[in-house]
Amino acid sequence: MLEVEGKKVMVVGLSRTGVSLTKFLVAKGAKVTVSDHKSPAELTSALEQIDSLDIEYDLGGHTPKLMLEQNMIVLSPGVSPELKVFEYARKNGVHVTGDIEFAFHFIEQPIIAMTGTNGKSTTCKLAELMLTESGIKVWLGGNFGTPLIEYALLPQDQKADVVICEASSFQLEHVVEFTPKNIVFMNIGENHLDRYRSMEEYVSAKRKIFKNTNQNTTSVLNADDNRVVDLARDPVVQRGRIFYFSRKQTLEPQIMNIGGAVLLGKQIKVRVGPEIETYSIANMKMKGMHSAENIMAAILTTRDFGAKPEAIQHVIDTFPGLPHRIEYVRKAGGVYFYNDSKATNVHAVKRALACFDENLILIMGGKDSNLDFKHLQDPIRQKVKSLILVGEAKERINRDVGDFSETFLIGTFEEAVLVAYQKSRINDTVLLSPGCPSFDIFDSYEERGEYFKKLVREFS
C-alpha cells in the first residue's frame, strides 16, 4: 500500500475523479494541492465540493515550481501525461501517476478490468448484473461513472466480493503495478487520435492492461478482432489463462477445446471448465448482434467468479441495454428515432449501421478527433439515404463520406435534428450516431443524447 500520510500530493484536473482523489487524500492525511488549467469561475461546481477541505490551490494554469515541491502528482484521466510540465516534474524526481494505478494500491479485493474501444461499459454492466443476480457482492466503477478511488473510501462492511473497473486508454497510460485478476479486452478501433499521435500509440496505451499478467490472471479476448489476437501473442499475456469469444461458427471446435464462448445462431456455447454450457439470446432486448459479443465476454468473466447459469440467462433475457447506445426513443410521424450518442468513434458508428436496414437518416458530427471516416463509405452507400452533418468535424466527415449519400452540412444541433425529420418518410429511421466526441457543443455524450431525446419528444 502506498504511504500518503504527511506526503505532499498534487491532484491535477478537477473533474469528478479529481474531486474524489482530493477527498481521499485529505482523509488519508496527505498535504494536498489541486491544480487545473481552468479558472476558479469555470470550476465552481467542483470547488463547492472541496471548499471545506484544508488544501492548497493552483488554478488557471500549472505552476512548474509548485510541482517540484510535491512527493507525488496524480492526474485525472482527461489530463495528458505527455505535457512538458509533467515531464519536467518526472525528470526532477517527482512521481507522476494516474487514478486507477493510484487507487489499485488501496484495494484488496480482486479486480475485473475491462477495456476496448467499444462495448466495455455495456459488458461491465452485464457482468455486474450477472454477479449480483448470483448473490455475489459487486462494486462497479472506474471509467464507468464512479471513480475507482471512491471504492477505497468505503467502510469495511460495504466492501464487495469483486470490483469491476472499466479502464480507458487514458487511465491505462499510467500502469506500473495495476494487476487485475481478470482482464476483458473487447476490441480495438481507431479512437482518440486528437490525443495520440498514431494508432500504434493508442494501442500501446491499451496494451498496458496486460503489463502485470501472471499465472493467476484470466484474460477474456475477442477472437474476431485481429488487433486483439495480435496482443494475445505477447508472452506476457500468455503467462495467464486465456478465454476467447467469437461470433464465427468456424472457430467453435478450437474455442470449445481450450475454453471460451462461441455464437451459433441464437445460442451461445460456453466452456470455462470441463462442461459445455448453452445460453439463448432469442429473447435478448439489446439491439445488434455485436451485443452478443458483450454477453459472451460477460459470461466468461463472471462464470470465473461463480455466477450462476440461471442468473446469467435471466440477465440476457431482461437487460435492455444502457442509455445512449442504439437507444430507441420514439416513433413520430411514422418515423423511428434512435439515440446512439455514445458512438464517439468510427468503429461504433459502423456497428450501429449494421443494426439497421435501408432508409436511414444519419446524424453525425461533433468534436474533431482526427479520425478516418472513409471506413464508413460502404455502409453509408448501402443504408443511408440522407447524411446530416453538424459540429466541428462536419467538414472532415463530408470529405470522407459526403459523396456516398445525400448530404447536408448544418449549423446547429437543433437544425440538424429538424432537417433529419424533414428528410424522413414513413417507416424511415433517424439515427444519431455522431462518430465524434461531444465536446465541441456539449459537456458529455450523455448531455448530447438527452438533448436529442428532448428535441425528438417535442415533435408532434
Pair 218, 304: CB distance under 8 Å: yes
Low-confidence ranges of the chain (pLDDT < 50): none
- Total-model pTM: 0.95
CATH class given for the domain over 107-318: alpha beta
Supply the DSSP string of 35-55, one letter for each residue: EESS-GGGGHHHHHHHTTS--
Q: What fold characterizes domain 8-97?
A: Rossmann fold (3.40.50)
DSSP annotation of 378: H
Q: What is the pLDDT of residue 457?
A: 97
Are the folds of 107-318 and 327-457 the same? Answer: no
What span, in angstroms and rounded, lies between the C-alpha atoms of 172 and 168? 6
* CA distances, 220 to each of 84, 250, 278 (Å): 36, 19, 18
pLDDT of residue 145: 87
> What whole-number distance in Å separates Cα of residue 1 and Cα of residue 3?
6
Residue with grid cell 487485475, as numbered in its chain = 180
| Nearest-angstrom CA–CA distance, 390 and 349 | 15
Find the angle CA(450)-CA(455)-CA(457) to the nearest 5 degrees: 95
C-alpha cell at 4: 500518503
User: Which residues on neighbouring strands pair with residue 335, listed in sequence order?
Assistant: 332
| Residues forming a β-bridge with 233 | none
Closest of 345, 339, 383 to residue 363, by C-alpha: 339
Q: What angle do CA 435, 441, 445 make, to 5 degrees?
A: 50
Beta-sheet pairing, 267-271 with 260-264: antiparallel
Q: Classify domain 327-457 at the CATH class level.
A: alpha beta
pLDDT value for 346: 97
3-state helix vs strand vs coil in the chain, percent to 5? 40, 20, 40
Beta strands across the sheet bearing 241-246: 138-142, 162-166, 111-115, 182-185, 218-222, 241-246, 260-264, 267-271, 276-280
Helix H or strand E encompassing 396: helix 394-401
CA 207 to chain centre: 15
The span from the CA of 149 to the CA of 167, in Å, is 13
**Dihedral (Cα; 162, 163, 166, 172), 10-degree rounding:** -110
Domain edges within the chain:
8-97, 107-318, 327-457
Cell triple for 236: 506476457
Alpha-carbon distance of 415 to 411, in angstroms, equals 7
Q: Which of 440, 430, 388 is nearest to 409 (CA)?
A: 388
CA angle 27, 89, 169 (to 5 degrees): 75
Task: Provide the Cα torsion 341, 342, 347, 351; round to 10°.
Answer: -70
- d(CA 112, CA 183) in angstroms, rounded, equals 6
**The pLDDT value given to residue 358:** 86
Is residue 290 within 8 Å of residue 281, measured between CB atoms?
Answer: no
Residue 413 near residue 392 (C-beta atoms within 8 A) = no
What's the sign of the alpha-carbon dihedral 247, 252, 255, 256?
Answer: positive
Q: What is the pLDDT of residues 343-359, one digit of tens each?
A: 999 999 999 999 999 89
SS3 of residue 453 by DSSP: helix
